[in-house]
Structure 1
Amino acid sequence: MPNGQIRKALSGFYYVKDGEKQIQCRGRGVFRNKGITPLVGDHVEYEVEGNNDGTITAIDPRKNELVRPPIANIDQAILVFSTTEPAFNSLLLDRFLVVLESFHIHPIICLTKTDLLSIEEKENIASYEQDYKNIGYTILETYKEDPELLSKMAPLLQGKTTVLAGQSGVGKSTLLNSIMPALGLKTGIISEALGRGKHTTRHVELIEIAGGLIADTPGFSSFDFDEIEKEELTRCFPELDELSERCKFRGCLHLKEPKCAVKEAYESGSIKSYRYEHYLQFLQEIMDRKPRY
C-alpha cells in the first residue's frame, strides 16, 4: 500500500506527499470512531481512489505531537525572541524551552532586532547568549532585512522538520518572509491575528526549504505545564538534569532535600541563579495545579 507524509490539512482534506506526487485524501471513519485525528507531519498509508484522491488507512506511530499548532513529528523549534521592543525576557524564554524539552523537540534560540541595541544592551544580551550556549543551546542573531539570514539558517533546517514559536511582535512574520518570500501577505495576516491574541490560522502546512520542512504557522499559541509532572521538570533544564545525578536522593526536587547537588551549585554560583529561580517558579506552578482525574 502506498505511503507518504501529510504536508497540509485544510477543510477536512489531508494532502499527502508521496515522492513527487501530492494526493488529496480523507481520513477513514475508523479514525473518528477512535478519536484519532490525522495531523500535518504524520507518516501515513493511503489507498488511491480516482486520479488524485485517496483515503488515509493507517497512521504510523508519532514521536511527538502538538495541539497548537496541530502538527506531529517535529524535530526542532526556532524560538524567535526580540532583544528589544519588546525587551528580552529570560523567564518567558525558559518557559518555552521547558515545554519544548518536555516534548523532546530540539530548541534553537533566534534573537531578533539586534541592530536596534545600544552598546550597553548588546553587552547584556551577549551575557545571556553565553549562558545559553554554555548549557548547549544554539543561538542565532538576526535583524530585519538581514541578507545573511537564509545562509545562517539553511544548515540548521536541512533534513529537519521545524516550527517557529515566540511572542507576538518579535519578528516571526519577518523571519518567515525573509526565508520564504512567497508567503508575503499571508504571513502579514497571521501576524495581525496573533497581535489580537487569537489563533485564527485556517491551516498548517509544511513547506520544503533548504533541504528540510518548515511549518507555515504562527507557532505555539499556548505554553503551559499541563503535561509536565513535578518529577519530570528537572529533565527540562539540561544543566540541572546533569547535576541531579549527584543528588543524594533519587527524584530530588532540589527544594529542601539534604545533599542536593543542584542547590549546592546554585549557592556556589556554578549555575546561573535566574535559571534555578525559574525552575523553582515553574515547579511551584506545577505543584499548585489542580489534580487531574
Structure 2
Amino acid sequence: MGVREQGIVIRTLGSAYDVQGPDGVVRCVLRGRLRRQRDGPQRPVIGDHVEFERVSPREGAIVAILPRRTALVRREPLDPSRAHVLAANLDQIVAVFAAVPEPDLFQIDRYLAVAEANHLLAILCMNKMDLVEDRESFRARFAEYEALGYPVLYTSAVTGTGLEALRERLQGKITAFIGPSGAGKSSLLNALQPGLALKVGSINPRTGMGRHTTTHSELIPFDGGYLADTPGLRDIGVWGIPPEDLAVCFPEMRPYLGQCEFSDCLHLEEPGCAIRRAVARGKIRRRRYESYQRILIEQQVAWGGLHE
C-alpha cells in the first residue's frame, strides 16, 4: 500500500478526477469499493476531501472520501427517490437570476429554500442590471429578501456593476453559483476572473430559456477560496427533508414553529395553525406563504404522496 495523501477534488471528468494535492494537481481514478460504487452515493464530487495514493508524480488513485461537512443535492426528475450529490463542503451559494425579463419570485423562493435545506448561506444575485431601465423601482421589489436577512447584490457582467461587492462575498469561501440557464453565471465568473474563458450561453429564441454551457463540474481557485461551476442544478429541489420540516427553510416562519395546535401541522388547512395566523396578521408575507404551499406540494409528490 502506498503513502496516502489528502487533497480536494477540483474537477470531475467522467471516470477521472483532478485532485488538488499538497504540491499540485493529481489526475486520479477510483480504487477499490469506490470504483465499484462509482455511480452510487459515494461517487466523488467537487469539494470532496479525499485520500489518494500516487502511481506517478501527477497520477494517482482515490482510496477514500472523507466525511462531508455539507452536500448540495439534486433529485432525479424521473425517479424522485434518488438523489445526486453535486458538490460537497460548500460554504455558500450564489443564486443568480437575470433581471430582464423579471425573474419569477417563486423560483427565487425555491432556490433560497434549497440553500436553507442544505444549511448553506444564500446570496441572491440579480444580474444583467444594465438592461434595467428603472433600477430604483426594481431594487424596491426585492427589499423583502434583504429584510429576511438574505444579501441581495445587483450586478452586470457587461458594465462591471456590483462585481466588487460580489468579489468581497466570495473571498476565502467555497461558493456554488446556481440559478436558471441564461442568467449569466458563466459571464459573471469570466468577469470576476478574466482568462477563465468559460463558455457563455445564449437564449433560445423559441423557448426564451438559456442553453446549458457547463459540461463538467469544476472548482475554480479564486482569492483564497473556490468558485464551483456545476451543471445539472436546474432540477435542484428540497425533497431531501420531510415535508413537515419545510417551514424551517423559511426564516420568517421559524419563530412560530412549535406554536401550532397540532404537533404534525403542515400549515395548510389545519385548525390552530400559528403560521397561518401570522400570515393573516401580516407577519408573514402571503406571497411567501404561497411559495411554501407550492414547494410543499412538490415534496409531497416526491415523497410518494404523503399527507395527501
Q: Same fold by TM-score, threshold 0.5 exceeded?
A: yes
Contact kept, 8 Å, 2:154 with 2:161, in 1: the verdict is no
1:45, distance to aligned residue in structure 2 (A): 0.8
The gaps in structure 2 that reach 5 residues or longer are: 75-83
Residue of structure 1 equivalent to 2:97? 81
Give the counterpart letter for 1:43 in structure 2.
H
Distance in 2, Cα, partners of 1:178 & 1:200: 16
The gaps in structure 1 that reach 5 residues or longer are: none
Match for residue 122 of structure 1 among 125, 136, 152:
136
* Superposition map of 1:1-293 within 5 A: 1-34=4-37, 35=40, 36-62=42-68, 63-67=70-74, 70-84=86-100, 86-119=101-134, 122-123=136-137, 125-147=138-160, 149-184=162-197, 186-188=198-200, 201-218=214-231, 220-289=233-302, 291=304
TM-score (norm 1): 0.87
Give every structure 1 segment of 4 or more consecutive aligned residues whose post-TM-superposition deviation is greater than 4 Å. 190-200
Q: For each residue in 1:132-184, what CA deviation from the matched residue of structure 2 results, as whole angstroms up to 9, or x when unmatched?
A: 11111111011243335442122211221111112222222321221122123
Partner of 2:235, secondary structure, is coil
Distance in 2, Cα, partners of 1:9 & 1:284: 34
1:48, distance to aligned residue in structure 2 (A): 1.6
Partner of 1:287, secondary structure, is helix
Backbone CA RMSD of aligned residues: 2.7
Give the counterpart letter for 1:95 in structure 2.
R
| Range with greater deviation from structure 2 (230-239 or 96-105) | 96-105
Structure 1 pair 42/260, CA: closer, same or farther in 2 (3 Å)?
Answer: same
Structure 1 pair 72/198, CA: closer, same or farther in 2 (3 Å)?
Answer: farther
Partner of 1:181, secondary structure, is coil
Give the counterpart letter for 1:15 in structure 2.
D
Partner of 1:92, secondary structure, is helix
Give the counterpart letter for 2:125 in structure 1.
C
Contact kept, 8 Å, 2:181 with 2:212, in 1: the verdict is no
1:97, distance to aligned residue in structure 2 (A): 1.3
Structure 1 pair 11/230, CA: closer, same or farther in 2 (3 Å)?
Answer: closer
Which structure dedicates a bigger proportion of its chain to helix? 1
1:275, distance to aligned residue in structure 2 (A): 0.1
Q: How many residues align?
A: 288
Q: For each residue in 1:60-96, what CA deviation from the matched residue of structure 2 results, as whole angstroms up to 9, or x when unmatched?
A: 0112143578322222111111222x21210111111
Percent identity, aligned pairs only, is: 36
Distance in 2, Cα, partners of 1:69 & 1:169: 23
| Range with greater deviation from structure 2 (270-279 or 256-265) | 256-265
Structure 1 pair 57/250, CA: closer, same or farther in 2 (3 Å)?
Answer: same
